[in-house]
Every structure is written in C-alpha cells, then in structure tokens.
Amino acid sequence: MAASRRVAISLLLVAAMASSFSFSPCTAQSSSSCASYTFSSNQQYGSCAALQRLGATLHYNYTAAASTVAVAFRAPQPAGGKGWVAWGINPSGSGMVGTQAVVAFRHSNGSLVAYPTVLGSYAPSMAPAAAKDLALPVSGVSAGENGKAKEVVVYATVALPAGKGTKFNHVWQQGSSVAGDVPAAHPTSGDNVLSVGSIDFSK
C-alpha cells in the first residue's frame, strides 16, 4: 500500500506538470543511426527516436498492414540496476491515466522481468495486466541488459488501434527502487516529470 501511495503522488505530479506544457515530438533519427546500435538479441529496427528526457531511446518497426509496432525501449540502468524503467502509449489522452506501459526491473529472485501494466488511475497497482484489460494487445514482452552501456532494454510488439492513425502520445520513466517486487515512486523533479511526448510511428 505504501508503494502504491508513493506511485500515486508521483503520477499526480507528472499529470500536473504535463498539463502545463505542450507535448514535443521526439527527434527521429536516420535508419543508419538506428542500425549502428547492436542489440544482443540481433533484432533490427528501421527507425528510432532519441527521447528528450532521461537519456532514453526508442527503436521501432511499424507494420502498416497489421497496424502494429515492434519497439525496443532503451534506458540507463537506474540505481546500479536496482531500479526500474518503463515506456507506454496513451491511446486516448495526453496524461498518465489511460497509459498502457511495459515495465522492467530486477526481481527479488534475481531475474530481469518485464510485463505490461495499465495506469488506470492515479494510484495504479503497477501489477501485470491481464490480456483482457489491455486496450492495445501486446506480445513479445521481454527485457535485456547492455552491461557495457549500463542500459536496460525492454522489447514489445503493440497492436495499435484501428482508425487512430500512427501518431500517439507516449510516456517513459525510470525509478531508483523496487519494493516488494513492485516499482516504487520515481523522483518528482527534473526530467522525471517531463518525460512525455508524441511520436509518429510512420516516420
């Protein structure tokens, strides 16, 4: 319960900050720049965006025929690997509530875990979401580490909503601690309250 309250306070602050400025599009990089990064899984992505906050990068492949996007979200390892990272899409709004995210962290059993979760309120459980609760079907969720770069990489394929185009609001985040195998609150200042934007997966 304490962890949920801390996350709730953090999300309320993010929502307040987000309402005070316009979302900025991410910086799309060339396919050659994306290709210069080598994934340990040998996956390749034709597009990527250098996100403006938290030193994160989003690599992606958009498939128009299936209306899906395969993503690889890279973020610096917080707290020496003891924290968590997350990235998500809000299919219906511009704030935190309604965001469907994939989160990754080091479980107490030593394994690196990743799963989808839904921020359905300002006090989300941050627990794994059941398929029936996902507005955007997600598959292939996993996570890896780049020890040399001290990064966590979260992989997922997201089915985008039909008729909604290719441009969406998205949110990314990192926190420094996990309590009881649940992501705890992230810092409530600096980049952590500005890590929102919009992205067009067709570019």
- Measuring CA to CA, which residue among 111, 115, 62, 112 is closest to residue 87? 115
pLDDT of residue 35: 58
104: nearest Cα among 138, 131, 75, 143: 143
**Closest by CA position to 50, among listed 32, 22, 69, 25:** 25
Looking at residue 189, what is its pLDDT? 76
Cα(106)–Cα(68) distance, integer angstroms:
28
For 140, 143, 200, the CA distances from 135, given in Å and listed in that order, are 16, 22, 19
**What is the model's pLDDT at position 9?**
34
CA distance 144 to 30: 24
The upper half-sphere exposure of residue 185, i.e. CA atoms within 13 Å in the direction of its Cβ, equals 20
What pLDDT is recorded for position 125? 82
Q: For residue 192, what pLDDT is reported?
A: 73
Q: Which domains are assigned to the chain? A: 47-200 (2.60.40.1210)
pLDDT in tens for each of the 203 residues of the chain? 444 444 443 443 344 334 333 344 444 444 445 558 888 777 889 999 999 899 999 999 999 999 999 999 999 987 778 899 999 999 888 777 788 999 999 999 999 999 999 988 777 788 999 999 999 999 999 999 887 778 999 999 999 988 889 999 999 998 888 999 998 877 677 777 788 899 999 98
pTM attached to this predicted model: 0.83
Residue 146 to residue 129: CA distance in whole angstroms: 26
> How much is the pLDDT for 27?
47
